[in-house]
Amino acid sequence: MLSVLARADNAGGVENLAAYVYRSVRNKIVDYQRAGEKTVSLQELSTDDDSPFSIDYFLDASADVAGEAERKERMRRLAEAIDRLEPKQRAVFLATELDKKTFQQLSEEWREPMGTLLSRKCRAMKNLREMLKDLND
């Protein structure tokens, strides 16, 4: 309320104080609702370890840059290996692993025997293991 009245002095003369206060408070409420969660400035953070708003609270102690880089490299190598699979092997592998489809569903959709799909998936897994064997070491 003090900030609303302090701005009234800056705005020059206010003809209808009740209308000015009503509109100002209404605008503050709308701004608050639009803002969502209250943000905390890093400049306002304390350095006390006990405070829930200390800078250490926001830093990820488990952040492992080297581990993250290694994980990204593994994912890149896996994507390359999947791309090198034969198209039918790749299709079965992606459908079962990423799309979580069953072999029964694939057999009905693709009109292929389930045994054929199983053997394609088996060969795809064998080829992937071979291409990525140095990652397991």
pLDDT tens across 60-116, in order? 666 677 888 888 998 999 999 999 999 999 999 999 998 999 999 999 999 999 999
pLDDT confidence of residue 6: 64
Upper half-sphere CA count for residue 24 (Cβ side, 13 Å): 16
**Is 65-136 CATH 1.10.10.10?**
yes
C-alpha dihedral (49, 55, 61, 67), degrees to nearest 10: -170
- pLDDT classification of 27: cutoffs 50, 70, 90: confident
Where does CATH 1.10.10.10 sit in the chain?
Answer: 65-136
Q: In whole angstroms, how large is the CA radius of gyration of the chain?
A: 30
Q: How many residues does the chain have?
A: 137
Least confident range of 3-12, 16-25, 28-37, 40-49: 40-49
- pLDDT classification of 1: cutoffs 50, 70, 90: low
pLDDT tens across 116-126, in order? 999 999 999 99
